[in-house]
Amino acid sequence: MAKKVLFAGESWTATVTEVKGFNAFSASKYETGLGWIDKAIEKAGYEFVYMPNHIAADHFPYTMEELKEYACVVLSDIGADTLLIPTETFSAGKRFPNRCQLLKDYVLQGGGLLMIGGYMTFNGIGGQGKWWATPVQDVLPVQLLTCDDRMEHCEGVSAESVNNDHPVLKGIQGEWPPVLGYNKSTLKEGAELVAAICGDPFIAFGNYGKGRTGVFSSDCSPHWAPKEFCDWEGYDRLFKNIIDYIVR
């Protein structure tokens, strides 16, 4: 039976208002950043379990028993508030377990955790990601900033390997395609830095308790990860190696 990877986030809704002279109307749409990362994880031999943001708010696991069904949890473009404020907490003042504390405990007990960058992970746009203020920060290999940490690079910037012998870089050859942005952070003492970008951590890992965690500080889909990066021949191999290394 394939090991399960729980992937939370990477979804959004948008409302657009069009004004046509005297008249106006609104239209909405729902989108996800899937199409690349899900295929890479499935191709790596894992069962990909997806929880978009609006589902994760109330259905992300509340117990260790539920969480331990997964070999690895991936947080991608999902803010800490989505896990900290379930619907009934906000609307009716109902108490629930702190799922950020649960994630930390899950790692300490042997679970794997990967945080992928974006506008709502790390600290994100306007500082709304807010993961630095949660117990999850304690088990990340990087120290998150407490301000808006986005580094936008519309010109494109490429990561560079800093440890070519690391197993995560096995099969990754040539120059990395450019990305259009990433979340800035600082490496913690004792963490493994595998790749850097503009002098900042790009891929890093840390061991905490019985578990291992990692960060990939750019996105796994547009806009920060342009089609050139997503269609790169090393994309699937890179994310397979990352998950494999975290799951061990």
pLDDT tier, 62 (very low <50, low <70, confident <90, very high otherwise): very high
Taking 90 as the threshold, does the pLDDT of residue 16 lie above it?
Answer: yes
Phi/psi class of residue 199: alpha, beta or left (left: φ > 0; alpha: ψ in -120 to 50)?
left
Per-residue pLDDT, 112: 98
Q: Count H helices, E strands: the chain?
A: 8, 14
* 83-137 pLDDT per residue, tens: 999 999 999 999 999 999 999 999 999 999 999 999 999 999 999 999 999 999 9
Tokens found for residue 183: 């979340």
| Rg of the chain (C-alpha set) | 18
Q: What is the DSSP track for 157-208? A: E--EES-TTSGGGTT--SPPPPEEEEE-EEEPTTPEEEEEETTEEEEEEEEE
Residue 248 confidence (pLDDT): 85
* Residue 213's pLDDT band (cuts 50, 70, 90): very high
Q: Which of 79, 72, 148, 159 is nearest to 120 (CA)?
A: 79
pLDDT of residue 46: 98
**Distance separating alpha carbons of residues 159 and 203, to the nearest angstrom:** 9
Tens digit of pLDDT for each residue in 144-189?
999 999 999 999 999 999 999 999 999 998 999 999 999 999 999 9
Pairing of the two strands 142-144 and 150-157 = unpaired
Q: What is the mean pLDDT of the chain?
A: 98
Query: What average pLDDT does range 23-29 have in this prediction?
Result: 97
> Residue 151's closest CA among 196, 115, 193, 113?
196
CB 219 within 8 A of CB 235: no
pLDDT of 1 over the 90 cut: no
Where are the alpha helices (H) located in the chain, listed in sequence order? 37-43, 53-59, 64-67, 80-84, 87-92, 99-108, 227-230, 235-247
The pair of three-digit structure tokens given for residue 48, joined into one six-digit string: 């990909």
Q: What is the pLDDT of residue 74?
A: 99
Residue 110: per-residue pLDDT: 98
